[in-house]
């Protein structure tokens, strides 16, 4: 197993609710250990072991946003 650091640009996030929605969804992805959301840069940093990129993108979509 290897620790990964995945970074996404998520347009449309602008408030605490946005941060909470994305964090809550992404934290449920298997292997995710930490989620950092930076509203100013619109970036989401995900750390964990054997984290699926597709699963993280799906979680971001479930929160109502798109990931680039």
How many C-beta atoms surround the C-beta of residue 44 within 10 A? 25
* CA–CA separation, 56 and 27 (whole Å): 9
Q: What angle do CA 19, 23, 16 make, to 5 degrees?
A: 15
Count Cβ neighbours within 10 Å for each residue of 3-26 and write b for 16 or more, e otherwise: ebebebebeebeeeebbebbbebb
Tell me the domain boundaries of the chain: 3-62
CATH fold of 3-62 reads Alpha-Beta Plaits (3.30.70)
pLDDT above 80 for 58: yes
What confidence tens digit (pLDDT) does each residue in 38-54 have? 999 999 999 999 999 99
Q: What is the mean pLDDT of the chain?
A: 96
Please classify residue 43 by burial: count the beta carbons closer than 10 Å to its beta carbon, then call 0-12 exposed, 13-18 middle and 19+ buried. Answer: middle
pLDDT recorded at residue 2: 78
pLDDT above 70 for 23: yes
């Amino acid at each position: 197993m290897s620790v990964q650091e995945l970074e996404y640009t998520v347009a449309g996030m602008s408030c605490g609710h946005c941060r909470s929605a994305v964090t809550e969804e992404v934290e449920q992805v298997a292997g995710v250990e930490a989620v950092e959301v930076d509203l100013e840069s619109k970036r989401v940093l995900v750390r964990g072991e054997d984290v699926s990129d597709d699963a993280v993108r799906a979680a971001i979509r479930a929160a109502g946003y798109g990931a680039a």
